[in-house]
Amino acid sequence: MPAMPHETDPAALEEVRAKVEKAYSAWRAYSNFTQEQVDAVVERAAAAGRQHARRLAELAVRETGYGNVEDKTGKNLLSAEWLPKKIQGMRTVGLLREVPGEGIVEYGVPLGVVAAIVPTTNPTSTVIFKALISLKAGNAVVFSPHPHAKGCTCETAELLHRAAVEAGAPEGVIQCLTQPTLESTQALMRHPRTAVILATGGSGMVRAAYSSGKPAFGVGPGNVPVLLDRSADVPEAVAKIVQGKSFDYGTVCSSEQSLVAEESLREPILAALGAARAHLCDERQREALTKLLITPAGTINAKCVGQPASRIAEMAGFQVPPDTPILAVEIQGVGRAHPLSAEKLSPVLALLFVSDFAAALDACEAVLRFGGLGHSAVIHARDEARIHEYARRMPAMRVMVNTPSPQGSVGITTNLFPSMTLGCGATGGNSTSDNVGPLHLINIKRLAYAVRRPEDAFQIPAAGPAHRTSAEIVDRFLASRHGTRTAEAVAECACNRSLTVAAPKRAVDPPQVTEPLPVAIVDFVCESDVRDALRDSRKIYIGPRSIVTPSARDLAGRHDILVLAQR
């Protein structure tokens, strides 16, 4: 994708300050809305998104050159129609719930101003999605569009803003930067009034969000493996894979990237791909695609993002029919030596055939670790044991079964939460593994009543042997030294900072002095004390209750340093 301009523009920075302040003022009023008022605002904005879904899709394709109108219309409707249905009745502000038996009452507390970063691949559907979940959570939102999609992004934001105001929302509750640069986006994320960041974009932008010092929901890149198991219906599975891979020309981050299957399925899979009008690339075409799609630095060629298969083939130097949905190219492994095993953001599908199911699991995991950790994975199978083994093994937060990947990941064909922001969890360096929604944009305040007295919560055990003083331990030991040392006495000595009572064996007992001595009897002797005595050519006088470390006793025994004196 094209990089965001990197330049200092005072006017752009001033726009950030002005629009964040305006959004903050609007939020101060909006934060007092009841749940019923909030829901009315959300529904009016969603209705505007539904009404203009196709027009906004046309604007996006015209401005960015990515994807196609039909599929972008579908994504707009996911956000404007399917999402509102899912969150209808969801409580987000004011009283959320009471648990009388536990003495807990929960209240939803809006966060404030949401900084929403919008990618060039999904510039209108992302705005609808982020605006609606922000409004549902009682927040205001300021959008930072990609410079190559600022026209359609700002148009979408203003359309929703007008609808929200018509429903009673304060003026300024939705704002959009018209002069986006890297510096202005960073200023938006770091502004003191910004409460939380919803970052969707390149890995650099997501890292910037997490390093801004603000709470952030950023999502990592997707490099989705799809395992086609021998228990699956191969023609049906391949048809779904082609449907997912071709959706909006591969611009969805959860699009299938590499199809992995056992070698025994090669011919059935290739036949099914042909039946689905996919083009099977030969060796020369594979090399041409590799050079075209992946730069020497390992990044995606922005000119290929979201282009139809026929256009990509033409750019690579060969021709395919105009209605070709995807290009399928066989690879021999995963990793830097096999560039097409990476995310491609285009209707190009890698094929990898392996020896058995175990090797297929290894390959799918390797694909995820090669740029897609935590995101999504797919399996087409009927064998439940293999489905669950795949789910347990894959380092992905969404593992979908028998569905096109993009449509499954965002909740169109599954019951996952409808979302355009798919968390990758700690595995992918993200703060959440969820499909992000309104409940991620609120805090929950809890009113907690006393239900027990402190003394009824738990019992503190009485002090046991471990709490005795050193002197008590020595007395106990000495009382037993003329008999058998009990395990308890030994354990207590060991607990006393790894020290041992001065009870040398008879062969090395220090000489005893029975007459009173004009010398000090020490209570503790360590190895350094013995070395000092050796250096000064003097004795160390100990009593029956003196403590001597094992190393001190051994060293003193060799040089006759210790003298046992009776008080």
Q: Which residues are catalytic?
A: 253
CA dist 279 and 15 (Å) reads 48
DSSP one-letter string for 130-169: HHHHHHHTT-EEEEE--GGGHHHHHHHHHHHHHHHHHTTP
The answer to whether the CB of 378 falls within 8 A of the CB of 387 is no
What contacts 93, CB < 8 A, 6 or more positions away?
A: 31, 33, 34, 35, 38, 108, 109, 110, 137, 138, 442
What contacts 80, CB < 8 A, 6 or more positions away?
A: 46, 47, 48, 49, 50, 53, 128, 132
Sequence length of the chain is: 567
CA dist 490 and 395 (Å) reads 49
Q: Are strands 104-110 and 113-117 parallel, antiparallel or unpaired?
A: unpaired
The answer to whether the CB of 144 falls within 8 A of the CB of 123 is no
First to last CA, the chain: 88
Radius of gyration from C-alpha coordinates of the chain: 35
Q: Which residues pair with residue 541 across a beta bridge? A: 563
Mark residue 537 as left, alpha or beta (left: phi above 0; alpha: psi -120 to 50; beta: remaining).
left
For tokens 């082609």, the residue is 242
Which 3 state secondary structure label does DSSP give 548? strand
Q: At what angle do helices 182-190 and 203-210 cross, to 10 degrees?
A: 30
- Is the dihedral angle over the CA atoms 337, 338, 340, 343 positive or is it negative? negative
Q: Which stretches within 137-275 are classed as H helix?
A: 150-166, 182-190, 203-210, 234-246, 266-275
CA dist 432 and 450 (Å) reads 32
Q: Which residues of 314-347 are buried (b: 16+ CB within 10 A; e: fewer)?
A: ebbebebeeebbbbbbbbeebeeebbbbbbbbbb
Triad 232, 237, 243: Cα angle to 5°: 170
Which 3 state secondary structure label does DSSP give 13? helix
Number of Cβ atoms within 10 Å of the Cβ of 376:
31
The answer to whether the CB of 386 falls within 8 A of the CB of 357 is yes
The answer to whether the CB of 337 falls within 8 A of the CB of 366 is no
